[in-house]
A and B are shown apart, each in its own frame.
Chain A
Amino acid sequence: MENQNLNLLDRALGLDGPSEPWPLSGRVVLIEDCVETSGSFVLHQLVKRSLSPTSSNVIIFVAFANPFSHYDRILRKLGCNLVTQRDNKRFIFFDMLMLRCPDVDEGKSSEGGLVLLYEKILKTICGLPGDKKDYVTIMIDDISLVEVAANGGSDYVLDFLHYCHALTSEFDCSLITLNHEDIYSSMERPTLILQMEYLADILIKAEPLSTGLATDVHGQLTVLNKGTSHRLGRSGNKIHNFHYKLYVVLWRKKLVISIDKGYSSEKRSFRRTYHVNGRLGFWNLNTLCVTHLLNG
């Protein structure tokens, strides 16, 4: 029954194979979206996959955007009971909605708030029983609100992310974050988003259709999977581009993400993302590689 619910997104992420070892272990996933198309559905889909009965993942969900009840209702429609998972210690929810680093002595306390958060995550991971420690997924929804909580201290947010990234190598956990790409696209030096994109092993981007609104298609999804190992043994970048639609499937009473293969991907959007920055000269190489692989 599990296989029937797999879709192109799962395949693009490599989740169509056996669930152990967890394909996203030790990997960093970045989901980007914009005002017109929200990318949070990808996050929900990943929560559902991580908490499937065949895997033994533990999710540490750091929520800045929505309360537990919101995710609970959505995942319930997807066939996953978060309350039960929370009781079974497979879903650990950090409610950060009201986190606000006080602005008295801005520098120290913004950093302080995030340091405390990191320590809390670390403590939670270390506190897990031995076998579960290897299958932790840290999810953050979403990074732009972490910046607000830090009163604009993007450097502290970056430090926090780097520390979380270190956890992926130390504990083999996966790090999945959501950020809004359109906030940074007008900036001259969007350091935060560029660094996040650089760190990410898998980049998932949700965008509206260039042709405008449509009732049948809610948007397009582009998945860039860096350095996957192909079945043929080669490793290379893979780009997938789909049109997606989110709807309710009546007979199963679940939400199924239906993703149909779309037209050939709009490469130029990726070139915009991998914006050439004088300092990060190697971006050029990356872009060329990507283009080459797509054409070749």
Chain B
Amino acid sequence: MATTKPRLSSFSRNLSAVSSSQTPGVKCGPNGTMFVSSGIADLDKILGGGFPLGSLVMVMEDAEAPHHMLLLRNFMSQGLVHGQPLLYASPSKDPRGFLGTLPSPASLKHDKSRDRESEQEKGLRIAWQYKKYMGENQPNFDSHRDNKQDYCNEFDLRKPLERHYFTRQRVNCVGIQDSKNLAALQEHCASFLAQHQRNDGSCALAGRIAIQSLCAPQCEHSNMDWEMLSFIKSLKGMVRSSNAVVVITFPPSLLSLSSTKRWQHMADTLLSVAAIPDEDKELAKLLSGYQDMVGLLNVHKVARLNTQVPFILEATTFSIKLQKRRFLVLECLNQAPVDGSSGSSYGTSGSCSGSSKAGTLDF
């Protein structure tokens, strides 16, 4: 890890780069890409800046827990706070009702105290030596985060977003339950993306499309495999030439294995969420902070637009925690201190090796 760093120095994602021109909420990235925030600061960091404009993000749901909704809510709120138009499609009867559950940005006071807290916490973790190498980049990022608070807000999940954010001009809600096929949704997406066509260089305003549970069983198109694939393919084609990001969540358990793989291949960024069992003693022994964990987030693929070099992550599995039951944070999994009396060694070198596949756990 340390050896590759010097090589990548000129081309690494410079997180302290100035955000592009006057557009709030859009940041320049490498290889001519521009990023928008996912609404979760930790996720932006993990993905190397955020979601690139023109990319398709897919989130694989877990049938046992609605954690994908957390990601979706933050994504949508962040867009609205920045004044970015939003198209939201959902299989529920009243998609507009969902807007009432969107979180509001937290007050400034809390942000600063959290930063300090996390800094202190990291200072105390002396035992995990490698953290100090990872920590190098963090002070830079945090200090700049104060300055450009605009890019990613801290959302308070208990405070609903003020109604003035979702005016008709900015938010368009589409229900996909009742329509016979995906043609209507495709029309909506096409007209939305046409308004955000990318002209060379300047970025007028970024747009966001959030499609929830695309293959939900209550939709008529849910058993039309090829129709859905065709829809995703054309959506991807349209979004590539526009300044927008599409987030699609879907439950992979409802698709055939082969279809699931096709969907995964179409995604530029692929995430999955998993539920965490409530009272799992083994897990509690293995991981520290288990009680606070709400679920797990897995990063399978990170968007590589305009480049062929893959983005190697330090870790691919993160725990989703709610700080003070309000703020969504993602943390690396940390092994709990080994109990000396048990005499067994866990083998893996710690959370940040990607092979947390070893052992009895399957994330």
Contacts and interface: CB of A to CB of B under 8 A. Distances in A.
B310 A246 contact: yes
A148 B3 CA distance: 42
B265 interface: yes
A240 interface: no
Interface in A166-189: 180, 182-184, 186-187
B240 interface: yes
B265 A44 contact: no
Interface stretch (A68-76, A123-131, A265-273): A68-76
B132 to A, nearest CB: 17
A183 B1 contact: no
B11 interface: yes
A57 interface: no
A143 to B, nearest CB: 11
A284 interface: no
Interface stretch (A14-22, A207-215, A288-296): A207-215
A18 B1 CA distance: 38
A248 B357 contact: no
Given A73-B32, A98-B234, A148 B229 contact: yes
Contacts of A144: 262, 265
Interface stretch (B147-155, B286-294, B299-307): B299-307
A70 B229 CA distance: 22
Interface string B258-272: 100110110000100
B258 A183 contact: yes
A144 B270 CA distance: 18
B354 A213 contact: yes
Contact of B355 (A186, A212, A255): A212
A143 B250 CA distance: 24
A151 interface: yes
Nearest to A212: B355
A247 B307 contact: no
Given A149-B233, A247-B7, A41 B312 contact: no
A73 B237 contact: no
Interface in A36-60: 36-38, 40-41, 44
A177 to B, nearest CB: 15
Contact of A246 (B1, B10, B308, B354): B308
Nearest to B227: A103
Interface of B: 1, 3-4, 7-8, 10-11, 31-32, 225-227, 229-230, 233-234, 236-238, 240-241, 256-258, 261-262, 264-265, 270, 300-301, 304-310, 312-313, 316, 353-355, 357
Given A145-B233, A152-B226, 9 more contacts: A35-B261, A35-B300, A38-B310, A180-B261, A213-B313, A213-B316, A215-B312, A246-B309, A250-B10
Interface of A: 35-38, 40-41, 44, 64, 66-67, 69-70, 73-74, 77, 97-98, 100, 103, 144-145, 148-149, 151-152, 180, 182-184, 186-187, 211-216, 218, 246-250, 255
User: Closest 8 interchain pairs by CB?
Assistant: A213-B354, A212-B355, A97-B237, A186-B257, A152-B226, A73-B306, A183-B261, A41-B308
25 contacts: A35-B261, A37-B310, A73-B307, A98-B234, A98-B238, A100-B234, A103-B227, A103-B230, A148-B262, A151-B226, A152-B229, A180-B261, A182-B261, A183-B258, A187-B258, A212-B353, A212-B355, A213-B316, A214-B312, A215-B312, A246-B308, A246-B309, A246-B310, A248-B8, A250-B10
